[in-house]
Amino acid sequence: MTLSDIRSRLDGLEGRTYWRSLEELADTAEFRDYVQREFPAQAGEFTDPAGRRQFLKLMGASLALAGVSACTRQPPEALVPYVRQPEELIPGRPLFFATAMPQGGVGMPLLAENHMGRPTKLEGNPEHPASLGATDVLSQASVLTLYDPDRSRTIASLGEIRTWSNFTAALQLAVGAQRTSGGAGLRILTEPISSPSLLDQIDTLKTNFPQAKWHQWDAVYGTVQGGAPGSLALYRFDRADVVVALDSDFLNSGGGSVRYSKDFSSRRRIGTPQQELNRLYAVEPVLSVTGANADHRLAMKAGEIHAFASGLAAAAGVPGTSGAASGEAGKWLRVLADDLKAHAGRSVVVAGDTQPAAVHALARAMNSALGNEGKTVHYTAPVIASPADGVASLADLVTEMNAGAVQLLLIVGTNPVFTAPADIDFRAALEKVPTRIHVGLYHDETAEHCHWHIPEAHYLESWGDVRAFDGTVSLIQPLIAPLYDGHSPIEVLAAINGTTGQSTMEIVKGYWTRAFGGQTKTTWTLRDASGGAYPNVDTFWRHALHDGFIASTSMLADGATIPAAPAAVAATSVPAVRGADAGQLEVVFRPDPYILDGRNANNGWLQELPKPLSKVTWDNVAYISPATASGMGIALSRAGNADQDLLEIEYQGRKARIPVWVMPGTADGVVVVHFGYGRKNAGRVGSGVGHDVFGLRSSATPWFGSGAKLTRTGEGYFVASTQNHFVMEGRHPVRVVDAEEYRADPKVVAEIGPERPADEESLYRRERGDHVTPTPFEYLSYRWGMAIDLNACTGCSACVIACVAENNIPVVGKTQVGRSREMHWLRVDTYFDGDPAAPSATYHQPVPCMQCEAAPCEPVCPVAATVHSDEGLNDMVYNRCVGTRYCSNNCPYKVRRFNFMLYADFTTPELMPQRNPDVTIRSRGVMEKCTYCVQRINSARIDSKTENRRVRDGEVQTACEQVCPADAIVFGDLNDPASRVVKLKEQQRNYGLLEDLGTRPRTTYLAKVRNPNKALA
């Protein structure tokens, strides 16, 4: 602004003009601005007309509109209903069909749950004497094998895909060449077989080809050391007061284990303190499930058991036997003999399958001498046909193969290339056979070396029959058409026999039609459940299929005619263990409890199921005792999963490597090697997992032998275990009392464990009975609860895998288990008592969600994803869960499981039909846990509502309860005073785990009551 500007302004004005400053006088925009502003030297003012109100209006409108556009258009999907609805098929409701699972030739009777044509879950057949409603681990997991995407899918010849007619044509050609020689070059190698229809086919084959030979090999079930026993022992543990197990795991292995667990536990599930318990003594080299349940257990080398049995027989008064022992074993001999004699006729001596025939003969002699035969044990002819010594049978076959005598070899089911004893080179011999045919579920090691491979139909997709451990015949009916072009062994043998154009069902039905008419080689008594004869064959067939078995064929049924057993082998006494052997390291072979000889290697459920007692997953390990381990400088304790020493075991000049596992209860100087791992082409799950130790197992000593050498390689190998602390730390999660103590003062159970403040000391108001609650809630409808009898639980882990199958629990793999992220909703904890090096007792404790009344997990969830239902369940709302894991941190039982990654398989189409449609599949980032099988509760509630009644006691069985062979788990309504669970909880053995925390668990435990013999104390 210059003076001339002002002048020019002033020039244009008239009259008197007042001005404040020269600039006003100039009246420029700049000057107006200058006057307007308070501090002209600083920044300008905010004069934008779009003010705060305008801004808020716009923001509000845009937010509202953003909400409008947030809906997703769902893709169109066509639903095609049935044109003709199949009879009995109601969508959403499963159907159950009776069938049976063959395992080692022995059948496990089952009821298969079928959802819209897909089998999803297997339960025990409640009517069948071998099951009584319960099942075992292997049958629970077998449904996953059915859907295994890695099962072989096509008939193959030398790697080329072929059709069934290609195969039968080639077969006729090969068989035709054998006809002239009477089948001199024809050999069949199978697993142990009890199937009447299949045996009938083999008989026909033998008639057609008199020179043909049938061999059987099974690394687990068909292998004996020191001769086969000759007769089959069927035990009645429900009648036995004293049981002596000589290296026998009758509670957890073999086809009878389910029934034996039922019978055995019936003598442990005491209702009152006065009730008598049975007493179990176990003598064994390695802690087995049976040994863990024993009242007294003696760890002894497997090779010394023969001498011990002999000594026991002598002490028990069996003529012609002799033997004595000193020290601990000597004391045992005296005490056991006294106890056995005191319970003559009510005791039983059980010899293990891995012990030689002589030990079985001694056991039989003792049972005879004690008058147990016919009472607690029956000796019968074996149910497995031709129970040849599998090792000898395989050795014969290999000799003939090497001699070039075998022209055509049919291998059914078994995998000898992988499992054959180390000194029998089956693979080399196999290459000398001109035509080799393999029938199996997988294209395994043996299939790789055969010309033809025929996919075997899974038992859930084929017809057949099988006998249970007690001889009861079960019919196998398919639940689904073969998924992958599978053919049953019956069909293959019928093809060799020239029976074409008949389906497997027709063959099986044909056999039983002839059996009904008495035209078969074996004479069958076919009666209905009440003993009446069937009017005609159709009624018989329908009933047998419906029931799943033919009751009159059981040898255990009261009044059943038991086939005469072969004469016992002479019970001979053996010399004491040779001096040279005494100081040597003994190697004991055991099949992996779940993978067996490797046949289940591709089953993720079984791989991930913690092995009983060691809780190792995904690997085989060598057990050694703590004393042996300290001698070798191997660390005894683990704070968590870590590298284990990799051992090299040298035996009979052969070597194998395997990680070590220090296992309390193992006999000193024994290394227990589990075989079955180390498969090379098992499939996506099992290939390359674990260590192959078949190289150590020779035909002479398939189960145990002396003279092994152990060396530490200095390398480490990571082993994933789900439990690393087996000491109770004085916290008494498992409460244990002696029977006498309990009888004298039943209140003793309540006094064990941490002090629990008396109710009158609580700040909270009292509810009824002995419970206190901050927020009393009246459960008007149902109040679900569970009781677990620790005295019955054997620790077999069937409940864990049943839970996996029922609740679609994912498999996470070794790495994740190694990081302690296994997903099992239910776990079986194991604790050792006494000296850690030589524990005096072993306890098992299944731990599902406790469904606490005052659940610590509930208040801490920020989004209320875990809440209490009006029936007392601690519900988990997956959709609401954001995965803070606070609930798990605050759970004193650590039963909650978190999807740290996407564990559920959403992509493999083969696995989708296996899932239980009633249970949500959980995605990543979500917490999950035991629901008390709420889907089963809901289903029963719906049924009861339509019938306008309450849910009956026993109508809802949780998966773990249903599978339990020992009836240790009981679920029911706590509002029903007559329910079994209320009765159990009224017992003075009842206690809540960590109840001193005030969580008031719904799941409670019945204390373990041991029945020790004072003379051994």
Partner 1 sequence: MKQSTETYVEPSQYPAGDFREPIAVIAPGHSYDSITGKLTGMVLTKHTPLAWFVVIGISFTLVMGLMMALTYLLAKGIGIWGNNIPVGWAFDIINFVWWIGIGHAGTLISAILLLFKQDWRTSINRFAEAMTLFAVACAAIFPIFHTGRPWLAAYWLFPYPNTMNLWPNFRSPLIWDVFAVSTYASVSAIFWFVGLIPDLATFRDRAEHPVLKRVYGMLALGWRGSAKHWYRYETAYLLLAGLSTPLVLSVHTVVSFDFAVAVLPGWHATIFPPYFVAGAIYAGFAMVLTLAIPLRALYGLHDFITMRHLENMAKVTLITGLVVVYGYGCEAFFGWYSGNEYERFMMKNRVYYGPYAWSYWALLLCNFIVPQMLWSKRLRRNLAVVFTVVMFVNVGMWLERFVIIVTSLHRDFLPSSWQMYYPTVWDFMTLFGTIGLFLTLMFVFVRILPMISIFEMRTLLPESRPHHPEGGSH
How far apart, in whole angstroms, are the C-alpha atoms of residue 1001 and residue 1009?
22
Within its chain, how far is the Cα of 869 from the centroid? 30
Least separation in angstroms between residue 819's CB and partner 1 is: 5
Closest CB 821 distance from partner 1, rounded Å: 5
Q: What kind and span of H or E run contains 360?
A: helix 357-369
Backbone φ and ψ for 823, nearest 5 degrees, come out as: -105, 0
Instruction: Report the b/e string of 400-410 with b at 16+ CB within 10 A.
Output: bbeeebbbbbb
Choose between 363 and 861: whose C-beta lies nearer to partner 1: 861
Residues 978-1017 that bind partner 1 (CB under 8 A): 993-994, 997, 999
Rounded CA separation 747/590 (Å): 42
Give strand pairing partners of 216. 190
Give which of 695, 799, 768, 786 is closest to 1002, Cα–Cα.
786
Match 């639980």 to its residue by tokens.
793
**3 state DSSP class of 145:** helix
Do 984 and 743 meet the contact criterion of CB atoms below 8 Å apart?
no
Shorter beta-carbon distance to partner 1: residue 57 or 731? 731
Tell me how far, at minimum, the Cβ of 728 lies from partner 1, in Å. 6
Strand 654-662 relative to strand 473-476, pairing? unpaired
Site string for partner 1, 839-878 (x = CB under 8 A): ------x-x--------x--xxxxxx--------------
Residue 541 or 886: the one with the smaller Cβ distance to partner 1 is 886
Is residue 614 involved in binding partner 1 (CB under 8 A)?
no
Q: Which position has the token pair 């894991």?
A: 885
- Alpha helices, H only, 474-603: 489-496, 504-516, 537-547, 579-582
Beta carbon nearer to partner 1, 426 or 831 = 831
Range 21-40, binding partner 1 (CB under 8 A): 38-39
Place of tokens 């409670």: 1004
State which residue, 151 or 922, has the beta carbon closest to partner 1.
922
Q: Please give the residues from 513 up to 532 whose contact with partner 1 meets the rule CB under 8 A.
A: none
Does position 718 bind partner 1 by CB under 8 A? no
| Sheet containing 160-162, strands listed edge to edge, beginning at the edge strand earlier in sequence | 160-162, 155-157, 452-455, 435-440, 408-412, 186-190, 213-216
With CB under 8 A as the contact rule, the residue among 2, 11, 14, 43 that binds partner 1 is 43
CB nearer to partner 1: give 221 or 898. Answer: 898
Interface with partner 1, residue 925, by CB under 8 A: yes
Q: Which two tokens stand for residue 692?
A: 């192959």
CB of 755 to partner 1, least distance (A): 8
Sign (positive/negative) of CA torsion 774, 780, 782, 786? positive
User: Cβ 605 to partner 1, closest distance in Å?
Assistant: 19
| Least CB distance to partner 1 at residue 924 (A) | 5
Residue 776: Cβ within 10 Å count: 12
User: In whole angstroms, how close is the CB of 968 to partner 1 at the nearest point?
Assistant: 17
DSSP state of 695: G
Q: Which is nearer to partner 1, 103 or 794 (CB)?
A: 794
Site string for partner 1, 737-776 (x = CB under 8 A): -----------------x----------------------
Q: State the nearest-atom distance from the C-beta of 590 to partner 1, in Å.
A: 24
Residue ranges in 876-905 that form contacts with partner 1 under rule CB under 8 A:
880-886, 888-890, 892-894, 896-902
CB 725 → partner 1: shortest distance, Å?
4
**Taking CB under 8 A as the rule, does residue 793 contact partner 1?**
no
Which CB atom, from 636 or from 902, has the smaller least distance to partner 1? 902
Q: Which helix (H) or strand (E) holds 176?
A: helix 164-179
Q: How far is the CB of 691 from partner 1 (least distance, A)?
A: 24
Residue 482 amino acid letter: P
Strands 622-624 and 670-675: antiparallel
Candidates 230-238, 396-404, 705-713, 719-727: pick the segment binding partner 1 (CB under 8 A). Answer: 719-727
DSSP 8-state assignment for residue 458: P
By CB under 8 A, residue 728 contacts partner 1: yes
Using CA atoms, how far apart are residues 542 and 886, in angstroms rounded to an integer?
Answer: 55
- Applying CB under 8 A, which part among 483-491, 740-748, 775-783, 918-926 lies near partner 1? 918-926
Which of 11, 12, 46, 909: binder of partner 1 (CB under 8 A)? 46
Distance of alpha carbon 979 from alpha carbon 959, whole angstroms: 18
The nearest distance, CB 908 to partner 1, in angstroms, is 19
Site for partner 1 in 639-658 (CB under 8 A): 639-642
Could you say which of 516, 703, 726, 784 contacts partner 1 (CB under 8 A)? 726
Q: Which residue in the block uniquely carries the two structure tokens 């054997």?
A: 794
List the beta bridge partners of residue 659: 646
* Binding segment (CB under 8 A) for partner 1, from list 286-294, 547-555, 724-732, 979-987: 724-732
Q: Does 725 bind partner 1 (CB under 8 A)?
A: yes
- Rule CB under 8 A: is residue 733 a binding residue for partner 1? yes
Identify which of residues 928 and 973 has a Cβ nearer to partner 1 in the complex.
Answer: 928
Please spell the DSSP secondary structure of 401-434, one letter per residue. Answer: HHTT--SEEEEES--HHHHS-TTS-HHHHHTT-S
Least distance in Å: CB of 612 to partner 1? Answer: 14
> 407 or 723: whose CB is closer to partner 1?
723
- Smaller CB distance to partner 1: residue 893 or 991? 893
Compute the least distance from the CB of residue 361 to partner 1, in Å: 42
Strand ranges of the sheet holding 279-284, from the earlier edge strand across to the other edge? 296-299, 279-284, 242-246, 347-351
**What is the C-alpha separation between 191 and 216, in angstroms, rounded?**
5
Which C-beta is closer to partner 1: that of 563 or that of 892? 892
Question: Mask of contacts with partner 1, 814-843, x by CB under 8 A?
Answer: --x--xxx-----x-xxx------------
Judged by beta carbon, residue 42 or residue 561, the one nearer partner 1 is 42
- Report the C-alpha gap between 609 and 590 in whole angstroms: 17
* 35 or 529: CB nearest partner 1: 35
Site size for partner 1, by CB under 8 A?
67
Strands 969-973 and 784-789: antiparallel
CB of 786 to partner 1, least distance (A): 17
The nearest distance, CB 733 to partner 1, in angstroms, is: 6
d(CA 917, CA 910): 15
Q: What whole-number distance in Å separates Cα of residue 776 and Cα of residue 781?
A: 15
How many whole angstroms separate alpha carbon 545 and alpha carbon 781? 39
- Shortest distance, position 795 Cβ to partner 1, whole Å: 13
Contacts of 230 (CB under 8 A, 6+ apart): 357, 360, 565, 566, 567, 568, 569
Assigned token pair, 728? 């109770």
Task: Specify whether the CB–CB gap between 130 and 260 falls below 8 A.
Answer: no
- The residue assigned the tokens 């599930």 is 269
| Least CB distance to partner 1 at residue 815 (A) | 10
In the bound state with partner 1, the residue whose beta carbon lies nearer, of 712 and 924, is 924
CA atoms of 149 and 817, how far apart (whole Å): 23
The secondary structure element, H or E, covering residue 512 is helix 504-516
* Residues of span 254-313 touching partner 1 by CB under 8 A: none
Of residues 941 through 980, those in contact with partner 1 by CB under 8 A are none
Rg, C-alpha atoms of the chain: 36
Q: Tell me which of 48, 88, 729, 770 binds partner 1, using CB under 8 A.
A: 729
SS3 at position 765: coil
What residues line the site for partner 1 (CB under 8 A)?
38-39, 41-43, 45-46, 639-642, 723-731, 733, 754, 816, 819-821, 827, 829-831, 845, 847, 856, 859-864, 880-886, 888-890, 892-894, 896-902, 924-927, 993-994, 997, 999
